[in-house]
Amino acid sequence: MPYLFTSESVSEGHPDKVADQISDALIDNFLAFDPESKVACETLVTTGQVVLAGEVKSNTYLDVQKIARDTINKIGYTKSAYMFDGNSCGVFSAIHEQSEEINRGVDRASKEEQGAGDQGMMFGYATNETENYMPLALDLSHRILKELAELRRENKDITYLRPDSKSQVTIEYSDDNVPQRIDAIVVSTQHDEFDADEVMLAKIRKDIIEILIPRVIAKLPEHIQELFNDDITYHINPTGKFVIGGPHGDTGLTGRKIIVDTYGGKGAHGGGAFSGKDPSKVDRSAAYATRHIAKNLVAAGLCDQILVQVSYAIGVAKPMGIFVDTYGTCHFNLTDGEIAKTVEKLFDMRPAFIEERLKLRQPMYSETAAYGHMGRQNEVVTKSFEQPNGEPITLDVELFTWEKLDYVDKVKAAFEIV
């Protein structure tokens, strides 16, 4: 019996994502000037106000107000009409020194024995239903909002868009878990008030279906394009006009979009958020590491989809254990337990080795804070940062290292895949 599966995404202008981006901008600036910084910072955004809180151990000092304002302006909150803009909002900082008790549990005389920054379990997932090994419904949801943001910045084909938006895609799957068609698409976008309500809503619906969606389709592989048809149910701004939005319409907090950040409800999630945490926090680094494992195992042809779990005790370097679930899709005569044992030998999951393998002490996190942490493009970019004294630094930074397929040959050799 065919079944439906749905995932959602939110834009960079969504209040929770505004908070995530500010927190990760702070992480990047700390790491740019002191790669060994230990940071856990949370952000709250609401009407005309930003509150920063958290713990830091670093040899550098930052102008956190400027970083927050620059991030908000970059997102697009630059007008007083939004009731939240980077130039005029208040920024309150309650960031303080990291607890010595926590620091003792992490730092070691030998870096290799660095303890986990917290207890907990982290999950990584991969599936071969898309070219980036991500669930299709989430991948399409992200693509819709990234294209919508492009249209907003171009301000040409659609001129009334504001930064806050959400999307949702429902896919129909066959009994053997193959996407068959797109059943429904939901897009809610904040907008200027430019006409009577009925006229506005009719134009927004027409523009989304006739301008946005074709631009999204044009960038998709042909076999995914074929899933679009005239029978898709569209819900465009289904509650009516959406003028009041962003932090003025809804308070935003760091870490409230963890399913959007990962796999859209596929696989599993350990509950820990990513943004605002340096890589000694295994909530972040181990989630990236398990994605790296899962993606390389599927890309090597071991299975069609896989879930990988790792767990830790705070202050202890060696993981409690590694769990694997291939959902019965393994192409070889191997149990999930046997696969897990081999994975444990191939990938050193002690925190220091994860940081080294994935180069996680770079200022690489601002790019993760909107449109998902997984399934993104691995690339090297040049980034510039400025200290409060005006001293600049320019660095080449490799992004999304956990998306590299650099272990495929090792996986094939370990599992004797020809």
Phi and psi torsions of 136, nearest 5°: -65, -45
Cα separation, 285 vs 295, in Å, equals 15
Nearest of 112, 133, 156, 107 to residue 300 by alpha carbon = 133
Residue 105 pLDDT grade (very low, low, confident, very high; cuts 50, 70, 90): low
Rounded Cα distance, 28 and 387, in Å: 12
Q: How far apart are CA 37 and CA 137, in angstroms?
A: 36
Local confidence band at 256 (pLDDT 50, 70, 90 cut-offs) = very high
The domain ranges of the chain are 3-9+136-245, 120-128+279-415
> What pLDDT score does 118 carry?
83
pLDDT band of 160, cuts 50, 70, 90:
very high
**CATH architecture for segment(s) 3-9+136-245:** 2-Layer Sandwich (3.30)
Work out the average pLDDT over 173-193: 96
DSSP 194: -
Is residue 283 annotated as involved in ligand binding? no
Please indicate whether the domains covering 3-9+136-245 and 120-128+279-415 agree at the CATH topology level.
yes
Residues 285, 117 contacting (CB under 8 angstroms): no
* Other beta carbons less than 10 A from residue 225's beta carbon: 12
277 assigned binding-site residue: yes
Asked whether the CA dihedral 161, 167, 171, 177 is positive or negative, the reply is positive
- Residue 12 annotated as binding? no
Residue 250 counted as an annotated binding residue? yes
Q: What is the pLDDT of residue 235?
A: 98
**Is 14 marked as a binding-site residue?**
yes
Annotated ligand binding at 396? The verdict is no
pLDDT tens track for 32-74:
999 999 999 999 999 999 999 999 999 998 999 999 999 999 9
55 appears as a binding residue in the annotation: yes
Mean pLDDT of 241-270: 97
Tell me what the mean pLDDT of segment 276-298 comes to: 97
Instruction: Check if the beta carbon of residue 291 is closer than 8 Å to that of residue 122.
Output: no
DSSP character for 277?
Answer: B
Domain 120-128+279-415 is of which CATH architecture? Answer: 2-Layer Sandwich (3.30)
Residue 281 is assigned to a ligand binding site: yes
Q: Residue 387 annotated as binding?
A: no
Region 95-110: mean pLDDT is 65
Percent of the chain scoring above 90 in pLDDT: 91
CA atoms within 13 A on the CB side of 10: 22
Q: Is 42 annotated as a binding residue?
A: yes
Q: What is the mean pLDDT of residues 71-99?
A: 94
166 is in an annotated binding site: yes
Question: Does 125 have pLDDT greater than 90?
Answer: yes
Confidence band (pLDDT; 50, 70, 90) for 108? low
Task: List C-alpha distances in Å: 284 to 56, 190, 259, 309.
Answer: 16, 31, 14, 13
Angle at which helix 15-33 crosses helix 64-75, to 10 degrees, equals 130
Please tell me whether 74 is known to bind a ligand.
Answer: no
pLDDT in tens, 298-315: 999 999 999 999 999 988
